[in-house]
Amino acid sequence: MRWSGGFGLIRSCATRAMLVAGFICVSFTAVWAQGLGPFVNEQLPPAGGVVIQSSPANPLKPLWIDVDGSSLDDNGDTHHAVPNGIDETWRLFLSPSRTAMVAVHGSETNCDDAVPIEIRVYRIPADDSDLISLGSNNQLRCLLYTAFDDRAANPVYRTAVFYEGKTSTGSSGHLLWWNLVTGEHGRSAGEYTYPINPSSFSQSGTMASVPNDVSGINGAHYSPVELCPAWIGQASIPGPARANSPAAYVENGTPNRVVVYRTGSPFGPIVGAPVLYVDCSVPSEPYGACCSSEGCQQTHQGDCTGTWQQGVTCQDAACPIAVLEVSLAGPATAVPGTFYDYTLTARNTGALASSSVTMIDRVPSGVTFVSASGGGTYSASTQTVTWTLGTLGAGAQTTRTLRVQVGCFGSSFSNNTYSITGLPGGTVIGAPPITTTLVLPNTAGLSLTLISSALAPTPLQTGDRVRHTVRIGNSSATNFDSLSFTLQAGTSSEIAQIVNQGGGYVLSTPTSLSWKGNVPSGSTLDVIYETAIKQCRSTQATTEAMNRGIGVIMRNPCSSIMASASVTQSFAVAPSPFRISLESSTHGPVQWWGAPDVNRMIACRPGATVDLEVRFYNNSSSVGPASSITIDLPPELPAISTPPFLGSVPAGTVWNSTTRTISWSGQPAANDSVVIRFRTRMSASACKASLEALASYGACTNALLTELAVLAVPVPPANHLLTLHNSSGLRFRDTTATAVWQSLLCGVFENSRGMGRTADGTIWVAGQPCFRLNPYQLSFAILPPSFATTLGMDTPFDVAEDPRDHTLVFAGYQSGLGLRMRRYDPATGTVSFILNDTSPQTLGIPSRVVVSPDGIIGANTSSSLMRINPANPAAYQRYLPPGGGSLNGLTFDLDGSWLTTSTPSSAVAPRNLMKVVRDTGVFSTLINLQPYFNWQYGMPGLAVAPNQDVYLGTYADQFGALRRSSGSTVELIPDDLSNIDLNWVGHTTTGIGGTTASVARHELALAGAIPNPARDATSLQFTLPRATRATLELFDSQGRRIRTLANGEYPAGNHTVSWNGLDEGGRSVRAGVYFARLSSDGATRRVQVVLTR
C-alpha cells in the first residue's frame, strides 16, 4: 500500500507481511464461520432489485436471495443458512453476479466505541446451500461504506472495496480492498477525508473511483483506487479533480477506465466533458526492483531509470540503501526550575545518501521549551521541535541541541517521542526514551553576605544615603541559573540608585528592588544599591537597615531557598520633626498593639460622652511648610454640637456638618503644636467607632496617619454566658431562652485563643496579643508583643487564675519545642516556670487549662488530660480517654470533677461529654452529643451553670445546652454567631462545689462586687497583707461619699462586707454607677459597683 500526492493506491500484498521503503502489506488468515444469527434487512442496488432479508418461515435458513426480483418464494428464489459466530449481522452486500456476498457481523455502534466488528466474505455455490467464509478481519471497529464487484473475467479482479470509518462522524478513515478469491487484504496508508460510497468500478474490476471530501462548498475530490494486484509501482497518476459545483457524477468507462464528470448541482445533470479519467491495463512487461539515487522502487522494467533486478522485491534487491538512525542524550537528574540540554544525533549508516532529512523531538510534558540549535523551529500547538537537515550522506552524522527549563512539580520527565525521516530511508522512531528524575537542589558552596555602610554621619537626616551590598558567592562546581531575590526599602528611606547589577538584571522602584541572574561556578557577584532618607517619613521611622532588617532570601525559579542571610547592621535616623496624635481626655489611657500609630484603642460605655484631642507637632526650630489636618467622624461617634469644638481652636480650623469632617490648614509654628479639641458621643447601639487623623506637610501628602478605635463596653448582667471568638472579640448573653448575644468587646485582635476570669471580674485573654478587660471597672489593657516571649512561648493558648494567690497560669506552645506552661503574677509582673514538654515532643498542643482551689492544674492537650501538682509539676499525670481520640473542652463540674468533650473521627463515631475524676483519671460518659452537633468541628466551649446545665459551643456556628436540670436533654440555642469560631464559654459563677479558696499569700486587694450589677444588695471582699487599719468607702459618680462600709483595725487576710443599697442616712440611693475605695497604709484600691434597682 502507498499514499502519494492525494491518491490512495491500494496494492496487493504477498501472503507474508512486508515492510519495504514505505509500503505496508498485511496478510490475513481465512477463518471458517461458526453458528447462526439473524440478518438485518438490507435493500441493495444491484440490477434486478435483489432483496436480501431473513426468512419468516425458516429461521434456521434465514438468508433469502430474491433472484427474479419479484417476491420471496420457493419458485427460483434461494435461501441459505448462514454460519455466524457473532450475535448480529447488521449489514449485507450481494455481489452483482449473485455468487458472493459480504456480511458485517457485530453490533452497529459508533466508530468511537471499542467494540470490534467482523467482516466475512462468502461464496454462494450453485449446488450448496451453505455459504463458505473466505476470510475475516476482527480488527475493524467501524465500517461505513462498501462497494462490491465480481464480474471480471479474471477471478483475481473479483474485488470488494470498503471504507473503514475512524470516528463516529466518519470525518476520516482508510480504504480497504479484499480479493474475493484469494482472501488477500489491503489497506491505504493514508486517510481519506469523509469519503462516500466507492461504488464506481471499471468493468474489468481493476479500477474504482472514490469521491471524498464532500464537506467543501466547491464539490468533491475524486481519488482513483487501483485494484491491480500485480501493479506495485506507477510513474504518475493525475491529481484529484475538484469541481466548482457542489457534487460530481462518476460512471464506468471502457473496461479499464473510470471517468469523472462535473455536474451543475448536487446530483444534477452532467455538465461538459470529463475532468478525470484513469486507465489501468493488465501489465504485460517484467516486474521487479529498480535501484537508483532515489532508493529502491517496485516497478516495471520500462519505468526504471536505474539498475534493474527482475522478479525480486526491494527487500531482496542487492542495491545500496540509506539507513537512518537518531539517538538522544540527556541528564539523569535535574533540579526543578533549572535549565538543561538534550542532545540529538542524526546518522546515516547506509551506503546511499538520504535527502530531505528532518529530525523531530516532542518536548516532554512538564518542561518548557527554551531554545533549539541549528535552526530548529518550535511549534507550541504540537509541542515539537523540527530540524531541517537537508541531505545526509552515506556514513554522515550531525548533532543538534534542545534546551528546556524544568517545571516545579512532578517527580520525573521522559523524552520518548523523537524521530528522523529522509528519502530514501523512510521514518525511523528513536529509542530508548530518556527519563530525568527531579532532585532537590544542592546549595553547598552558595552563600549570601549583606554589607551596609552609611555615607553620612548618624543620626541620618533627610537626603542622607546608605550603601547596601548583597554579595553572592559560589564556591561549588555547579552553575546556578535564574536565581533571584527581592528587597524592600526601609520605612524611613527609598531606593535612590543602582550602583552595580551584579552581572544580572535589576528592576527597582522607590520602594523595592528585585534581582535575577545566573551565578557561575567559582564566581562572586556584588549587587550594590543606595537608599536615601526620605522627607516624608513617619515619626516611628528612626532606623535604616537593608530590607527593613528582616534578612534576604535568594530563591530559584521554583521558589526553593538557595541561600539566605540576616541583616546585622542598622543606622539611626533623626525622627521626623512632624508628628500627629489622637487622644481622649475623658477615657484611656490609649492601648495599642503593633505600631504605636495604628491599632490604638480606648474603652468607654455605650452612649458615653467622649472628648477627643488631635495634636499636630512641629519639633523643628523653624516654621513648618504649608500643612493640613483632616479628621472624619464616623456615624458611630457623632458630634454632640455644631461645631463640636471645645474651647478655642487655631485659625484655619473648619467644621463641615455635611461630611462630619474637621479640617485645619496653615503653617505650624516652630517648636509648637496645633491642637484641636472636640466632643463626641459613642453610639448606644454600636460596639466600635474608628477614627483616623491624617496630616500633610509640604510635598508630603497624607504622610502622617494615626488611628483610634473607641470600644463600647457595656456592663454585663450578674449571670451570663461569656464567649471569646477568634478575631471577633468577647460576647455575652444571659441564660434565658429568648436572650440574644451582645458584644462586650468588639474584635480588633489577630488571634484570640482562650480566656479566664479572675475573682475581681477581670477577663484575661490569651493569644496574640494578650489583653485584659474588667467590664465593671472599665479597665482595659493590652500587653505588649514581648509578653509572649517573656512567657517562653510563641502563642499563649489559654489562661486560668490560681484562686490561692490570684496568679495566672498560662498554657501555650513553642514552635518545634512543644507545650509551655508558666505562672504570671499581675501584681509584680514576674514570670515563673511550671512545665516544658520534653524532646521529642510528647504532650501535644494545649487547648484548655483550669486550676482548682487547692492549686491542682488541669490541662487538655488534645490527646490526653494532664493533672499537674504545682509542688512537683514534673511528676505530672496523663489521663487517656477510653477508646483513644482527641479531647477539646475542659471545665469544672459543680462537684469538683472535670468535664471534657471528645472529637469524633467520623460522622458515625461518638462525640462524648465525659466526667473525669481529677485524682484518679476515671472517665465516665454523660451523653453522646454526635446527633446534635457537626462532627467535623471541635467543641472547645464548655461551661457549667449553677443549676447543673452544661453549655457547649463548637468552632463553627453551633451552640447548645445539656439541660441536666430537666432530664439531660440537649437544646440547641439559636444565635447570631454564624461563621465565627467559638473558642470558650464560661459562667460568672466562681468556686467549685461550694468550696472556698484559701489564700496562700496576701496583697492589698479589693475584689469586684458580687453580684455586680446588683438590684438591692451586694458584697465586697478586700484583702490585707498584714494586720492594719483599713477604710472602705462608697462614692457616687460625682465623687460624693455615700457610705462608709468599713473603718477600723483588721487582721491580715480576706474580709467581706455587705452593702444594702442605702446611704449613711438610711435612704435608698438611686440606680447608677458607684465606686468603692479601699484605703490602707497610704495605698488605695478602687472598684466599680453598678446598682440597677
> Measured between alpha carbons, how far is 207 from 1045 in angstroms, rounded to an integer?
126
Q: Is 509 exposed, middle or buried (0-12, 13-18, 19+ CB in 10 A)?
A: exposed
pLDDT score recorded for residue 214: 41
> Which residues of the chain carry a pLDDT beneath 50?
1-62, 66-67, 69-70, 80-87, 114, 125-139, 152-157, 167-171, 189, 193-207, 211-223, 226-284, 976-1002
pLDDT score recorded for residue 1014: 79
Contact 665, 591 (CB under 8 A): no
pLDDT score recorded for residue 597: 62
The radius of gyration of the chain from alpha carbons, rounded to an integer in Å, stands at 48
Closest of 588, 504, 517, 602 to residue 556, by C-alpha: 517
> Measured between alpha carbons, how far is 511 from 818 in angstroms, rounded to an integer?
39
> Measured between alpha carbons, how far is 735 from 745 in angstroms, rounded to an integer?
19
3-state SS record for 574-623:
CCCCEEEEEEECCCCCCEECCCCCCCEEEEECCCCEEEEEEEEEECCCCC
* Position 388, amino acid: T
* Pairing verdict, β 287-292 and 89-94: unpaired
* Position 118, amino acid: E
Q: What is the pLDDT of residues 397-420, one digit of tens each?
A: 999 999 999 998 888 999 999 999
Q: 470-502 burial by CB neighbour count: b if 16+ within 10 A, else e? A: bbbbbeeebebbbbbbebebbbbbbbbebeebb
End-to-end CA, the chain:
108
> Measured between alpha carbons, how far is 220 from 266 in angstroms, rounded to an integer?
10
> Measured between alpha carbons, how far is 176 from 186 in angstroms, rounded to an integer?
5
pTM across the whole model: 0.54
3: left (phi over 0), alpha (psi -120 to 50) or beta: beta
Contact 139, 160 (CB under 8 A): no
> Measured between alpha carbons, how far is 368 from 403 in angstroms, rounded to an integer?
9
> Measured between alpha carbons, how far is 467 from 454 in angstroms, rounded to an integer?
6
> Measured between alpha carbons, how far is 294 from 321 in angstroms, rounded to an integer?
9
Contact 1010, 1066 (CB under 8 A): no
Q: Is 845 exposed, middle or buried (0-12, 13-18, 19+ CB in 10 A)?
A: middle
Cell numbers describing residue 458: 548618624
Contact residues for 1055 (Cβ-Cβ < 8 A; gap 6+): 1021, 1022, 1023, 1024, 1030, 1046
Closest of 482, 294, 238 to residue 370, by C-alpha: 482
pLDDT score recorded for residue 1: 23
- Domains of the chain (ranges; CATH) run 2-32+86-279 (2.120.10), 285-319 (no CATH), 324-438 (2.60.40.290), 446-572 (2.60.40.1530), 578-586+594-712 (2.60.40.740), 721-761+787-987 (2.120.10.30), 1005-1091 (2.60.40.4070)
Contact residues for 1059 (Cβ-Cβ < 8 A; gap 6+): 1009, 1017, 1018, 1019, 1020, 1034, 1043, 1045, 1089
3-state helix, strand, coil in the chain (%, to 5): 0, 50, 50
Cell numbers describing residue 992: 467549685
Contact 764, 799 (CB under 8 A): yes
Q: What is the pLDDT of residues 585-606, one digit of tens each?
A: 898 888 877 666 667 899 999 9
